[in-house]
Amino acid sequence: MTAVGFRAQLVDEIRQYAAALADSYRTDEPVYTKTRGGRIKLVGVHAEQHDGLLVQLDDVAVHGVTSSDDVAGARPVPQSRPPGTWEAVALGVEIDAEVAGWCDVLGLPSRNSLQADVRQLAGAAGEPRIVSDDQAAALCRAMRSWRTRAQAQIGWTRDPYRPRATCPVVTCGQPGLLRVDLIRRAAYCIGCQSVWDDVDGSIRVLAEHITAQTEARAVTSVRLRSGWSGHGGAWTQPNG
């Protein structure tokens, strides 16, 4: 590929990341109904407006998330934020600082809005006199990292299943730290950063662990903990 073509591809990629971070977008969900004959018929399209990732991240950071666990009243946490919220705050601060650093390096005046600064960085990427090829490549990596981290943070904190079970990693062992994404079949401990997923089948072992604790509350965590050693590596050391 020519240098010009490569640069154009970089700019294109940068603009896609910037749009995901800073721009709101619309999704159109088809709405179906079942006819009396039992057939599925398209009846319309439900349009929904979504915020860009940075606004969503800010939302998680500022307002936290409510979980069905909290509403149930069994574990009231008045005025507390879920622990995951602080990670969202930290990530927001980090991205903010990195974006400001990029504006500074490129001599762009701050627009006083993170979204506006991300957009102006993407705009500047198309100007070789402002952004060199090396800088464009580095900016692309930075944008991708902001996008991926924001996505992961929102995904993990927005609507995970929060079992009351303890983390099965022996060195962690705290209750209330597990976050389970039922759709992705993956789980994460916000305490020790351990990850369970379907790649190595560890998510099934975790599911059994959660089920056992949920169904047999009377069993003490000490007894369960002593039983974990038999499950092998996935439980005793973070694999994330």
Give the integer Cα–Cα distance in Å for 217 and 42. Answer: 47
Give the integer Cα–Cα distance in Å for 232 and 189. Answer: 18
Size, binding site for Zn ion by CB under 5 A: 6
Instruction: Work out how close the CB of 172 gets to Zn ion at its nearest, in angstroms, rounded to a whole number.
Output: 3
Instruction: Work out how close the CB of 234 gets to Zn ion at its nearest, in angstroms, rounded to a whole number.
Output: 12
Give the integer Cα–Cα distance in Å for 204 and 201. Answer: 6
172 versus 207: smaller Cβ distance to Zn ion: 172
Choose the stretch contacting Zn ion; rule: CB under 5 A; options: 35-43, 55-63, 97-105, 164-172. Answer: 164-172
With binding defined as CB under 5 A, does residue 19 bind Zn ion? no
CB 99 within 8 A of CB 117: yes
List the interface residues with Zn ion, window 169-198 (CB under 5 A).
169, 172, 189, 191-192
143 versus 169: smaller Cβ distance to Zn ion: 169
Instruction: Work out how close the CB of 230 gets to Zn ion at its nearest, in angstroms, rounded to a whole number.
Output: 19
3-state secondary structure labels for all residues of 40-87: EEEEEEEEEEECCHHHHHHHHHHHCCCCHHHHCCCCCCCCCCCCHHHH
83 versus 123: smaller Cβ distance to Zn ion: 83
Choose the stretch contacting Zn ion; rule: CB under 5 A; options: 37-45, 80-88, 159-167, 206-214. Answer: 159-167
Classified as helix, coil or strand, 220 is: coil
Two structure tokens written together for 48: 């929904």
Give the integer Cα–Cα distance in Å for 159 and 181. Answer: 8
Q: Which residues bind Zn ion (CB under 5 A)?
A: 167, 169, 172, 189, 191-192
